[in-house]
Amino acid sequence: MNMGLNEPMDVFRDLESEVRSYCRAFPTVFTWARGYKLGDLQGKEYIDFFSGAGALNYGHNNPAMKARLLNYIAEDGITHGLDMATAAKSEFLEQFRAVILEPRKMKYKIMFPGPTGTNAVESALKLARKVTGRDTIISFTNAFHGMTLGSLSITGNSWKREGAGIPLQNVSFMPFDGYFGTDVDTVEYIVNFLDNSSSGVPIPAAIILETVQGEGGINAANFEWLQRIEKVCRDRDILLIVDDIQAGCGRTGTFFSFEPARIKPDIICLSKSLSGYGLPLAMVLIKPELDIWSAGEHNGTFRGNNLAFVTATEALNYWKDDSFTQEINDKAETMNLYLQDLIESYPEIQGEVRGRGLLQGVACQVEGLAEEISQAAFERGLLIETSGAENEVVKLMPPLVIDEIGLQKGLKVLAESIGHVGNKLAPEVARQKTETSEKKHFPAFCCGFQFGSGVVIRGRGV
């Protein structure tokens, strides 16, 4: 049956709450997904540079995970088990210890809260307060940690915070790395508050941070800054919590995003791509001496998703050596070089490349431009979203397993979308820049990167 676009979308408009968002940004009915591609009811294919907001690092319907999951279901494996001991959980725990923890010499207890990222954050905050006896948390400008009340209290975005309907308290916000520009040392700024008894900022239970602020605008913290924040915590008996829900599970190259900084958080929050398959699963890693919970003191009906344990165990196979990290880093460098050339080719967008690994973006100083680029990309078959306080950043998160052809195609569509929007900003300048860019940078692929060709493109790596 040949249905128009509006007809199949009507049911969502008529019955689903006004709170829906992504189906407004991507107004089509998707029917299938595989690897880095999705298809809709109209037969149109899309390249996915969105990855389920970071929940699909290994692509859609990863074949190895799917086969393992289907086999588990066919054998009547346990689906719902609260936090009871199950074979699926046991296998996951053993593999996580062997593949992730032991090679990194990390000793943590593992807690399974409810199956979403905000559940992990809520339990981390609760435990930090229980351990220290303090109630304040230090969070950062542009932070995003979730939409439940505790997580929302440490989220910076005012529009999201207003949705709480009540005062959000027991938090002190401090400037993230680079928030005031390169000339202001924000660690020293924080220290001045903490060490001044008249500052009004008490010594907190914990400092919580993202090493790369995904929703906040793709702001990547300098490794030295992270090390200095860790020292601030150690010197003052403050717990350090890293929210690795979006930046972790390989998104920045290493399994944990903080590995290159060589810091050792007290508590680590994981979710999103932890299951590998897009199934809900969250986990909190706790240094053993901090694991002072009483049995059942924090719980949830759907903690410990056994179907997710099955696919998460399979996902760990990617991390048995360093080859996957190298693949991600190679793709990240390609993306970074490409984006650097794009902003040089289209100065009218006033772009700045941000991010690390395969969590990168282009911040546009022209109001509303990033959203226009995202919309133009969707119309051309590429899924990307925006981030930042004013949705000013075009955010790119392709699946980590995307091949060179898929990456090239997606970047080409992005270039075409920027060119389209740029034409409206400055038609003649944009036309000339498009012609120059195609001739200068992409001899084999129009607005694409010539992989494996030995061609060097200007720019800087990640």
Q: Are residues 283 and 342 in the same domain?
A: no
Which residues, including other chains, have CB under 8 Å from residue 391's CB and lie 6 or more apart? 370, 371
Q: Which two tokens stand for residue 107?
A: 């000793």
Cβ(172)–Cβ(201) below 8 Å: yes
What are the residue ranges of helices labelled H in 285-322?
A: 306-315
β-pair partners for 355: 360
Q: Are residues 294 and 360 in the same domain?
A: no
Q: Are residues 429 and 310 in the same domain?
A: no
Torsion from C-alpha of 237, 267, 95, 317, nearest 10 degrees? -120
- CATH number for the domain that contains residue 312: 3.40.640.10
Sign of CA dihedral 16, 20, 22, 27: positive
Tokens 């719902």 belong to 80
Residue 93 clears pLDDT 60, i.e. is over it? yes
Q: Which two tokens stand for residue 289?
A: 């001496």
Mean pLDDT for 358-370 is 96
Which band of pLDDT confidence, cut at 50, 70 and 90, is reported for residue 446?
A: very low
Which band of pLDDT confidence, cut at 50, 70 and 90, is reported for residue 6?
A: low
Assigned domain for 109 exists: yes
Q: Are residues 306 and 381 in the same domain?
A: no
Q: Are residues 309 and 178 in the same domain?
A: yes
- CATH number for the domain that contains residue 462: 3.90.1150.10
Q: Are residues 257 and 345 in the same domain?
A: no
Residue 441 clears pLDDT 50, i.e. is over it? no
Where is the domain boundary, 274, 299, 319?
Answer: 319
* pLDDT score of 427: 56
177, 208, 388 from 184: Cα distances, Å: 9, 21, 21
Assigned domain for 77 exists: yes
Q: 3-class DSSP state for residue 431? A: helix
Look at the chain and report how many structural domains it folds into. Answer: 2
- Residue 129: what residue type? R
Q: Are residues 182 and 227 in the same domain?
A: yes
Q: For 262-277, what is each residue's pLDDT tens digit?
A: 999 999 999 999 999 9
Mean pLDDT for 96-104 is 98
**Rounded to whole angstroms, how far apart are CA atoms 384 and 339?**
14
Q: Are residues 234 and 245 in the same domain?
A: yes
**Rounded to whole angstroms, how far apart are CA atoms 306 and 141?**
36
Whole-model pTM above 0.95? no
Where is the domain boundary, 271, 303, 319?
Answer: 319
Where is the domain boundary, 268, 302, 319?
Answer: 319
* pLDDT score of 108: 98
Residue 33 clears pLDDT 60, i.e. is over it? yes
Assigned domain for 196 exists: yes
Q: Are residues 193 and 328 in the same domain?
A: no
Mean pLDDT for 36-41 is 98
Q: 3-class DSSP state for residue 270? A: strand
Q: Are residues 244 and 303 in the same domain?
A: yes
Residue 153 clears pLDDT 90, i.e. is over it? yes
Q: Are residues 272 and 381 in the same domain?
A: no
Determine the length of the chain: 462
Q: For 176-218, what is each residue's pLDDT tens digit?
A: 999 999 999 999 999 999 999 999 999 999 999 999 999 999 9
Assigned domain for 110 exists: yes
- Domain containing residue 405: 322-462
Which residues, including other chains, have CB under 8 Å from residue 195's CB and lie 6 or more apart? none
Mean pLDDT for 3-31 is 88
Residue 435 clears pLDDT 70, i.e. is over it? no
Which residues, including other chains, have CB under 8 Å from residue 238's CB and lie 6 or more apart? 132, 138, 203, 204, 205, 206, 207, 232
Q: Are residues 294 and 181 in the same domain?
A: yes
Among residues 201, 257, 209, 246, the alpha carbon closest in space to that of 230 is found at 209
